Amino acid sequence: MKINGNAIRPGMVIEHQGRLWRAVRIQHTQPGKGGAYLQVELKEIRDGTKLNERFRSSETVERVRLEQRQFQYLYAEGDMHTFMDTETFDQVTLPADAIGEDQVPFLQEGMAVTIEFHEETPISVQLPDTVVLAIVEADAVVKGQTASSSYKPAVLENGLRVMVPPHVEAGTRIVVNTADGTYVERAKD
């Protein structure tokens, strides 16, 4: 579907220079001389390369429609991860780099994920916004620190290090943001 260059929004997938790109950041710019344009930071879907491009409102770009389907994470075998379609029970196996190296540690058996397809080819995996993980190791609280500004390092069951409030101890289950790996709150289970 063709759209104007100034209609691009963050998260949209467009076809540009024969490749698929996801718009990461946009900025409208209106210089004192000449016409206004949209400065767009693009990230290539398959290999993650970045590109900054200018689009004028008179230009048209091809917006790509991605099919999103719900899958359930089953297991990992080496560097390959297997997912099952929750409707058809078909299985899809993807390498870790298709999921994102920073997202792989958050995968849990039975987790519901969304996989985006372009022409029946899986191109990206979207994890839930947060996951619940247990802390296996946490540093002791230093006396005299105020709770409002101090955080201490802790190691999660998946091996990731995260900064947590002083009251959180080993064995506690916490909610972690999958986008940046930060502590959100203590789990309510």
User: Do 149 and 174 fall into the same domain?
Assistant: yes
User: Do 121 and 135 fall into the same domain?
Assistant: no
Mean pLDDT, the chain, integer? 86
Which structure tokens are listed for 157?
A: 């069951």
Residue-wise pLDDT for 122-158, tens only, equals 888 888 989 999 999 888 776 666 555 678 889 999 8
User: Do 137 and 103 fall into the same domain?
Assistant: no
Residue-wise pLDDT for 58-75, tens only, equals 888 888 888 889 999 999
User: Do 138 and 156 fall into the same domain?
Assistant: yes
Query: Residue 68's CB: how many other CB atoms inside 10 A?
Result: 11
User: Do 111 and 155 fall into the same domain?
Assistant: no
Q: Domain of 71: which CATH number?
A: 2.40.50.140
Which of 63, 94, 115 is a domain's end point? 63
Instruction: Note the pLDDT of residue 149.
Output: 67
Q: What percent of the chain has pLDDT over 70?
A: 95
Q: What's the total number of domains in the chain?
A: 3
Range of the domain at 33: 2-63
Q: Domain of 58: which CATH number?
A: 2.30.30.30
Contacts of 51-60 with CB under 8 Å at 24 or more apart are 51/16, 51/21, 53/16, 55/5, 55/6, 55/8, 56/5, 56/6, 57/4, 57/5, 57/6, 58/4, 58/5, 59/4, 59/5, 60/2, 60/3, 60/4, 60/5
Instruction: Note the pLDDT of residue 70.
Output: 94
Residue-wise pLDDT for 71-116, tens only, equals 999 999 988 999 999 999 999 998 887 787 788 889 999 999 999 8
Which of 126, 151, 171 is a domain's end point? 126
User: Do 72 and 33 fall into the same domain?
Assistant: no
User: Do 112 and 76 fall into the same domain?
Assistant: yes
Residue-wise pLDDT for 175-188, tens only, equals 999 888 899 998 88
Kindly report the pTM of this predicted structure.
0.73
pLDDT band of 24, cuts 50, 70, 90: confident
User: Do 112 and 95 fall into the same domain?
Assistant: yes
Which of 63, 98, 115 is a domain's end point? 63
User: Do 135 and 150 fall into the same domain?
Assistant: yes
User: Do 80 and 56 fall into the same domain?
Assistant: no
Average pLDDT over residues 15-37: 86
What does the DSSP 8-state code read for residue 17?
T
CA distance 48 to 79: 18
CA distance 189 to 181: 20
